[in-house]
Amino acid sequence: MRILFIGDIVGRSGRAIITERLPTLVSTWKLDLVVINGENAAGGFGITEAIYHELIDAGADAVTLGNHSWDQREALVFIERAPRLIRPANYPKGTPGRGAALIDTKNGKRALVVNAMGRVFMDPLDDPFGAVERELSACPLGDAADAVIVDMHCEASSEKQAMGYFCDGRASLVVGTHTHVPTADHRILAGRTAFVTDVGMTGDFDSVIGMNKDEPLTRFLRKVPGGKFEPASGPATLCGIAVETDDRTGLAAKVAAVRIGGVLEPARPAFWD
């Protein structure tokens, strides 16, 4: 199976490169599954129903969230009628939506997509490791699912890496999101799970993690807010991770970074070109 996970979309610039480039990538790379983190898609904060459908129409098979899941209040309602929108599984019982979904892929197989949120330097939710364990046990790779993708949305690199090893041999891909800066450690772990500490963002990198530079600088320099955070609107870089799995096991056979457009050095999976 050919899987593309695309990192946190930030604002209009990030959405524009998705609608412009993703349909061609799906066709050219013959992608079977596309997962996008969309928790910053609406002006940098949350997601709306219209944007969710925009991402699905562009070729996404599932959209994951994170700590900004409910910044757009409508998400609390429309998530119940958006079966491919996945919020962190370790939100408390009774939270709207779902923390995992079994997705029909473009090649007729089934993929489990799980979203979890870390607790280090973030709001203290329920245990993410316990939540992921429940989802993996209920829908094991190679039995109930042909592929398993875990989006670990958190601040600490250590917590993301711990989740990678926790899932090793039981997931096709564990990908870190949230910190918006792509790391260079993509690899296949000993148990054949592909992993990257942070996939990076899909947005304008002439910014402070996707936001116009002036307001973050003001807050760092003067320790007072000068206004609202606004997403940078320049040309975006699409950041992602490409994984090809072994059809017999669902585990990773190949992994590569993806960076398209904008100011970062380009990267594409040589095994698909």
The three-class DSSP label of residue 103 is strand
Residues 6+ apart with CB under 8 A from 180: 7, 8, 10, 198, 200, 201, 203, 209, 210
- What strands, in cross-sheet order, belong to the sheet with 147-153? 100-104, 110-117, 147-153, 173-177, 194-196, 187-188
Phi, psi of 231 (to 5 degrees): -60, 140
Q: Is 68 a catalytic residue?
A: yes
Cα gap 20→76, rounded to integer Å: 29
Whether the CB-CB separation of 225 and 123 falls below 8 Å is answered with no
Catalytic residue among 53, 68, 178, 180: 68
∠33-85-180 over CA atoms, to 5°? 75
Whether the CB-CB separation of 224 and 30 falls below 8 Å is answered with no
Of the candidates 192, 202, 199, which has an alpha carbon nearest to the alpha carbon of residue 241?
199
Residues recognised as catalytic: 68
